[in-house]
A and B are shown apart, each in its own frame.
Chain A
Amino acid sequence: MSRSRVKNVDFEDDDYYDDDGYESADPEEQEHLQRCTNEVLSQLRTGQPSLTVSKEEVQEALWHYYNDVEKSVNYLRGSHTLVGRKKKKFKNNRLRSKVCSAIINIPRCVGRFSLAGLENAIALERLLALDVIMALNSNLGFIKGVCLGVWENVLTGFLVPVYPVPLSPPSAHFSAADFFRDSPWLNVPSHRKADILVEPLYPRLGLLGGAPEASGKMSKLAALAAARKQKESGQATSNTPPASTSESQQPEKAKISLKDRLAASSKAAKPSEGLAGLQSIRRSAKPSPPAQKPSSPEPTKVVPTPAPVPKDQPEELVDDKEEPQQQIPEIRAQPSMFASAIIGSQTGPKMAEPSRLHSNHVDLLQIYGVDHAEPFDFSEPSPDDVVLKAQSTAKGFKSKTPASKAGGDKKGQAGLAGDMNNLSVEEKVTVKSKNLDVLAEYNKSKRKRSANFVVIGHVDAGKSTLMGRLLADQGAIDQRTLDKYRKEAEKIGKGSFALAWVLDQGSEERARGVTIDIATNKFETENTAFTIVDAPGHRDFVPNMIAGASQADFAVLVIDSSVGKFESGLKGQTKEHALLVRSMGVQKIVVAVNKMDTVQWDKGRFDEIEQQISSFLTTAGFQGKYISFVPCSGVLGDNISRRSEDSNASWYTGRTLIEELETSEPYTHALEKPLRMTIGDVFRGGVQNPISISGRLDSGSLQVGDQILTMPSGEKAVIRSVEVDDDSSDWAVAGQNVVLNLANIDPIHLRSGDVVCRSSSPIPTITTFTAKVLAFEHLMPMLVDIHRGRLHVPGRISKLVASLDKGSGAPIKKRPKIVAPGTVARVVIEMDTAVPLEAPTRIVLRTGGSTVAAGLLE
C-alpha cells in the first residue's frame, strides 16, 4: 500500500467525520452540556488562580473537548492565563466550510504528529487551495512554534492551544529569510508572483516518490497569490499581527530547517521513508502562505506535536505521564517508519502500513482524541476513523442516549472495545444519526392535515376508475399520462379502464382489468393531503384489501348502482369489505354510489341503495353520523370534484365526493408508543438503495440513522434514509406512509408482514394467542388464515373458550361446540410459526376464501 493511498483514506474519513451531527441540538445533549458547563465554571472558580469565564466560552471549550470537563478547565485556564487570546476565533472556525473544517480536523486527529497532518492537508490541496492554505498556515505556524521551542505552552498546560500561532515575535533567533535565502522563487517581486511561474531550482523531490501531487495542481505561485488575496480580505477579522512578505517566508524557512533536521535525524530510516518526509515538507512549502489567517485551525484540537527535534522528546514523555487520562501508557503502538523517520525515534522503522484491522488495539482513551501527547504512528486508524466506527456500531445505543457520545469514555469502555473487535472485517455502512427529537420536529413542522383512506367495494364497482378520476381532477396526474393510458387501453379494447390504469400499474392488472394489489397514491386539496389506498375488490384479493384497510383512517365504499350489479355486490364483497374495515377500526365511511349515469341519475335508485346500505352499515357497527352518501359517476367525473351538469342529477344538492372527504377529522396516532411498522413491501429502491421497505408506521417514530429490529427474523438494520410520501425526510412518525431505505441487512430477513421495531422494545413473537372475535360465520376448532395488515399466516382455532355477551363481554357459555355467526367469542388460536403480534391488535380470520371472524388480540 502506498503512502499516498493511505493518505487519501484518511482524508475521506476526516471529511466524513466532520459532517457528523455534532451540532445537533438534542435536548439530552444540551442538558449534558449544561451540566458540564456548570462543572467547568465551578472548577475554574475554585481553582488556584480563580477565573471567571463566560458560559459561551466554556461551552465552546466543552464542545471542542467532547464535553470533557477536565480538559476544558485546563484549556480555559491555559488560554486565559498564558495566551489570553480571544475566543471569537472559534466561531469563525465553526463557520468554515466543510472542506476547510475537514482540513482543520486533520491537525486534530493526527495532531500528535503535525507533519503527518501536513501531509494530509496537502492531499486536500487539490480540493480547495484557499482552505488548504489556511490550514497549512496553522500547521506551519504550528511546527514553527514547536521548533522555536515555545515549550512553555506545552509544559504548563499540555493541551493549551498553540493559538493562532504567535509567529513573529519569537523569530528572533530563527529567521525565515535565512532559511529561504537560496530559494530564487521567493525573490520575485510580490506583485508579479501570481503571474510568473518559476521552476524551483532545487531537485524535484517529487520524482523520488511524489507521484500523486503531479496531477493538475495549482502552481505554487498561483496558490501564493490566492493566499495573499485571501489574507487581505480576511485581514479585517484577523487580530494577529499583520503579515508581511518576509513573514510569509518564515514558515518556509522553518520547513527547510526541518528538512535539514530530518535529514540529520532520519539516517536510520530507509531512503524512501526519508524522502516521503521530505516530500511532505516540500509540498507544504509550496503555497508559502502568509503566516496568519483569520481561519487558523481550531487551536484546541491542534495539540502540540512531539518535537521533531530529538532532544525535546523526554519533555514530551514527561508530559505524557502528567496527562491524567493517560491510564494505560503501554498501549502506544510502535511508530511507523515515517513517524520514526521524522521523530528520529529510537524505535526505528517497524511497520509502515496503517491498517484498519488494527482498530482493536486502539484504546478508548485515544478514540476521543484525548491523549494527543503520543506520537501518532500510522499503524492505527486515525482517531476519527475510530470514532466513526464506534459511532456506527453503537448507533442503536447512541440514538437513544445521545449524550453518551460525550460520556462514552467513562461508561462502557469494555463494550465499545468489544464492538470494535467485531467491526474490523465486515464493511458496514455507517449512517449518521442527526439525533433529532422527532416528536419535537413533528410538532414544529407545519404540514397540512393528512388523511389516509381506503377505497373498498365489490369487484368492478369502479373503485380504481373513481380514484383515477379523483386524481386526474385534482391534478395529481397530468393530462398527458392520462391520454397515454387512454390510448393504450383502447388499443387492447378496454377504453373505459383508462382512468383505472392510473392506479392499476401492474401488467396483469391491466391485461385483466382487475385490481390485484393495493395501490397508494396521493393528492392534496387546499387544506388536506390525502393518501388514497385503492384496494382490490375481487374476493381472491381480500388479503390485499386487508393490508390496504390497515393503513386507512377512513373508508370510501364504492357501490355500483347499475341494475343487478348493486344486488350482486351486496352479496359479494360490498358487505365483507364494509365489515372488514369496521372490524379494523375504521369509523367513518363515505359511500360513493357510482355509475349513476347508467341509471339516468334515478333518485329512486339512489334512495333505495342508501336505505339498504345504511341499514346494513348500522348493523355492522358504523354510527349514523359517520355514514354519508354521494351519488356520482367515476367515468364522467360527476359529483366527484365538480357538480354534475346532468339535468337529471339536479336533485342532489349535497356535498361532492371531494367535499365529503374533506370533512374528515384529523386522526391521532400513537406517537409516543414504541416503534411498530408492518412491512408492506420489500423491494429494490434503486442503485442507491438496494434494500427498501415500505409501510405505514403504526406507532412511534423513527429517523435516519436509527437502528431497527425486524421481527420475527430478529435481524438488525440501519435506516439509511427515509421517504415520507415520496419526499425524503429525516424522520417519520406514526400514521405516515414511509419508505425506509435500509443498510446492513440481507433482504432474506425481510418479508412483507414482518414488523419493524426497536431492539429496546421489541415486539414479541408468539405462536398462540387468545382473541376476542366477532364471528361472521360458524366458528369451531378449525384451520384459519390469520391476517393482520400484510401479515398473513396459517393457523388454527384450537379452542373455543367461551361465547360472550356482545354488550357486556361477560361469558354466556363456556366451551361452546360451535360459535354461531354474529356472536362474540373468545378463542385460542395457534400458529405453526412464531409471528410478531402483540395486544392490542386487530386481526382477521379467514378460511376458504371468506372472512369468518375479526377481532382483537388479548
Chain B
Amino acid sequence: MRLIKNKIEHNGSGAVTLFPEEPEDMWHAYNLIRPADLLRASAIRRVTTVQDTGSTTSTRVHLNLEIRVKNLDFDPQSSALHVSGQIINETPHTKIGQFHTLDLELNRNFTLEKEVGANGEGVGWDSIAVEMLKDAVDEGGKRRAEAVAVVMQEGLAHICFIGQFQTILKQKVEMSVPRKRQGGGDHDKGMGKFFRVTLETLLRQMEFNTSITSSSNNESVRPVLLASPGFVASGFHKYIQSEASTTTPGLKRLLPSMVVIHSASGYMNSLSEVLQSPAVKTLLADTKYARETRLMDDFLDQLRKETNKATYGPREVESAVDQGAVGRGGGVLIMSNRLFRSQDIAERKRWVTLVDRVRDVEGGEVRILSSDHESGKRLEGLGGIAALLTFPIIEEDLDSEEES
C-alpha cells in the first residue's frame, strides 16, 4: 500500500489517502477502517430517476462518495473488503443519509478520515492505528514474497498462502482414498487421483502457467512448502517430478522452489510445525510470521515450565501489567489484532490504553500478532492476549468470568 497523502493532526484526527496495490492491502484496510470513520472512495451507484410522466430510468454512475462507516465485511479468500455506511457528501445523484456499500478496489485511491469526538465518538489515529498504518505502508516495496504451503495427509490437503500478515486457506482438497486392503490396488490408484487433483488445484490457486513458453517470467515463482506426516508429501513431490518429466514440462520451473517438510497432520493446526522447520526458516528468513511463531513458542514454553513468568487472559494480563511485571527487561505483551478490530469503541480504547501503558510507561515490548496467522490463532485460544513477565507473579484465583 502506498501512502499518497498524510494529514494526521497532533490531536489524532486527520485523514490519509492510501493506494492499495496488492490483495493483502485490503486486509490492512480492514484493520485500519473502524466504524464511525469517514471513508471516501470512488463508487458505482445505480441511480433511478423518475420522470414527470412516471416512467423510470435507471443508470449506473461513477461517483466519489464519502460515507460514515457502519459496518465492514472482509472476505479473506478473495481479499475483498466491503464497507457500508451512510453517505455524507451530496452529489447530484445521491442524498445525504442514503446508505451505500463501498467496495474498495485495488489500484484505486481511498481516503480514510478519523475524527476525535468530544465524548468518545471517535478515537482518531491512536498509536495502534498509526502502527498499523506503518505496517500497511510498504516502504520501498521490500515486502517478502509470500509462500504457498500445502499441508496434506492421505486424502486431505490444505492449500494456503502465507503472507506477511495473514495466512489464507485458499482451498481444501478432500478425497476419500481407499485404505490398503488384502490384494487391492485401490489405495495406489486413489492416491494417484488425489495427487492429481491436488496438483491441479494448487496450480490453479497459484495461477501458475504450465505452458513451456511462459518461462520468461519465471522469477516470480513463490516457494512451495509441501508438508505431511509420513510419505504423502514426498509422494506428492515425486508425482510432480514425474509429471514435469512426462506430461507437463512447464512444471519444471516450479520444482526448484519446492520443499518437502514433515508435519504432524494434514490440518491447518500443524502449520506452525511447518513454519518452524529449518528448511522453511532458511527459505523465508526473518519474516514477520516467523518472528511471531517464535514468540508464541517462547511464551508456551514459559507456560509449560510453570515458571509463573507467563500469563494469559485479559484480566490476568491486566493485573500483571498493574503489578508492573510487563516492563523493561523482557516483558512482552502479546496481543491479537482482533482485539483492536472490536466494534465497541470502549473496548478498543481499553486495549489501546494497555498497549500505550506497556510501551510508554512500563517500557515493555508490545507485539501485535495477526489473527489471520497460525501464531495468532494459537493466541486466540488463550483469549487473544498474553504476556511474558519480567518476574514471576503468583496469581490469585480469578473466579470472574473470562472474556472470550
- Residues of chain A whose beta carbon lies under 8 Å from any beta carbon of chain B: 505-509, 512, 516-519, 521, 538, 540-541, 543, 680-684, 747-748, 750-752, 778, 780-785, 792, 794, 796-798, 814-815, 817-818, 820, 846-850
Q: A785-B267, A814-B399 are in contact. Are A684 and B178 (CB under 8 A)?
A: yes
Excluding A681-B179, A781-B382, A849-B270, 10 further A-B contacts by CB distance (< 8 Å) are A506-B188, A508-B188, A512-B231, A517-B180, A540-B262, A684-B186, A781-B383, A814-B397, A814-B399, A849-B263
Q: Are B187 and A506 closer than 8 Å at their CB atoms? A: yes
Instruction: Render B83-114 as a binary contact track against A, CB cut-off 8 A, 1 for contact.
Output: 00000000000000000000000000000000
> Of B184, B229, B268, B304, which is within 8 A of A849 by CB?
B229
* Highest count of chain A CB atoms <10 Å: which of B263, B269, B303, B398: B269
* Highest count of chain A CB atoms <10 Å: which of B179, B181, B267: B179
> Which residues of A lie under 8 Å from residue B303 when comparing CB positions?
778, 780, 817-818
> Which residues of A lie under 8 Å from residue B278 when comparing CB positions?
none
Q: Once bound together, how far apart are the Cα atoms of A751 and B155, in whole Å?
A: 10
- Does B219 count as interface, using CB distance less than 8 angstroms? no
Q: Are B304 and A818 closer than 8 Å at their CB atoms? A: yes
Q: Once bound together, how far apart are the Cα atoms of A815 and B399, in whole Å?
A: 8
> Which residues of A lie under 8 Å from residue B399 when comparing CB positions?
814-815
Q: Once bound together, how far apart are the Cα atoms of A294 and B300, in whole Å?
A: 88
Q: Once bound together, how far apart are the Cα atoms of A850 and B265, in whole Å?
A: 10
Q: Are B264 and A508 closer than 8 Å at their CB atoms? A: no
Interface CB pairs A-B, < 8 A, 23? A505-B182, A507-B188, A516-B230, A517-B179, A519-B180, A538-B230, A540-B264, A543-B229, A543-B265, A683-B184, A748-B176, A751-B174, A752-B179, A780-B304, A784-B269, A817-B311, A817-B312, A817-B395, A818-B306, A849-B264, A849-B265, A849-B270, A850-B264
Q: Once bound together, how far apart are the Cα atoms of A848 and B176, in whole Å?
A: 24
How far, in Å, is A682 (CB) from chain B's closest CB?
Answer: 5
How far, in Å, is B334 (CB) from chain A's closest CB?
Answer: 14
- Does B273 count as interface, using CB distance less than 8 angstroms? yes
Q: Closest chain A residue to B189 by CB distance?
A: A684
How far, in Å, is A232 (CB) from chain B's closest CB?
Answer: 54
> Which residues of A lie under 8 Å from residue B263 when comparing CB positions?
849
Q: Once bound together, how far apart are the Cα atoms of A784 and B378, in whole Å?
A: 11
> Which residues of B lie under 8 Å from residue A783 when comparing CB positions?
269, 377-378, 381
Q: A516-B230, A516-B231 are in contact. Are A509 and B381 (CB under 8 A)?
A: no
Residues facing A in B294-350 (CB within 8 A) are 300, 303-304, 306, 311-312, 316
Chain B, interface residues (CB within 8 Å), range: 35 or more
- Does B207 count as interface, using CB distance less than 8 angstroms? no
- Does B183 count as interface, using CB distance less than 8 angstroms? yes
Q: Are A752 and B304 closer than 8 Å at their CB atoms? A: no
Q: A506-B180, A848-B273 are in contact. Are A683 and B312 (CB under 8 A)?
A: no
> Which residues of A lie under 8 Å from residue B262 when comparing CB positions?
540
Q: Are A846 and B264 closer than 8 Å at their CB atoms? A: yes
> Which residues of B lie under 8 Å from residue A780 when comparing CB positions?
300, 303-304, 312, 382
- Does B402 count as interface, using CB distance less than 8 angstroms? yes
- Does B235 count as interface, using CB distance less than 8 angstroms? yes
> Which residues of A lie under 8 Å from residue B268 when comparing CB positions?
794
Q: Once bound together, how far apart are the Cα atoms of A747 and B230, in whole Å?
A: 26
Instruction: Render B38-66 as a binary contact track against A, CB cut-off 8 A, 1 for contact.
Output: 00000000000000000000000000000
Instruction: Render B373-404 as a binary contact track against A, CB cut-off 8 A, 1 for contact.
Output: 00001100111000000000001011100100
> Which residues of B lie under 8 Å from residue A509 when comparing CB positions?
180
> Which residues of A lie under 8 Å from residue B184 when comparing CB positions?
505, 683
What 10 pairs between A and B have smallest CB-CB spacing? Answer: A849-B264, A683-B178, A540-B229, A794-B267, A681-B179, A781-B381, A506-B180, A540-B230, A783-B269, A778-B304
Q: Are A681 and B178 closer than 8 Å at their CB atoms? A: yes
How far, in Å, is A628 (CB) from chain B's closest CB?
Answer: 30
Q: Closest chain A residue to B264 by CB distance?
A: A849
> Which residues of B lie under 8 Å from residue A846 when comparing CB positions?
264-265
Q: Are A820 and B306 closer than 8 Å at their CB atoms? A: yes
> Of A507, A680, A784, which is within 8 A of B179 by CB?
A680
Q: Once bound together, how far apart are the Cα atoms of A805 and B167, in whole Å?
A: 40
> Which residues of A lie under 8 Å from residue B304 when comparing CB positions?
778, 780, 818
Q: Closest chain B residue to A793 by CB distance?
A: B267
How far, in Å, is A766 (CB) from chain B's closest CB?
Answer: 18
How far, in Å, is A817 (CB) from chain B's closest CB?
Answer: 7
> Which residues of B lie under 8 Å from residue A784 when comparing CB positions?
269
Q: A781-B381, A818-B304, A820-B306 are in contact. Are A541 and B180 (CB under 8 A)?
A: no
> Which residues of B lie under 8 Å from residue A516 when comparing CB positions?
180, 230-231
> Which residues of B lie under 8 Å from residue A512 when comparing CB positions?
231
Q: Closest chain A residue to B273 by CB distance?
A: A848
Q: Closest chain B residue to A502 by CB distance?
A: B182
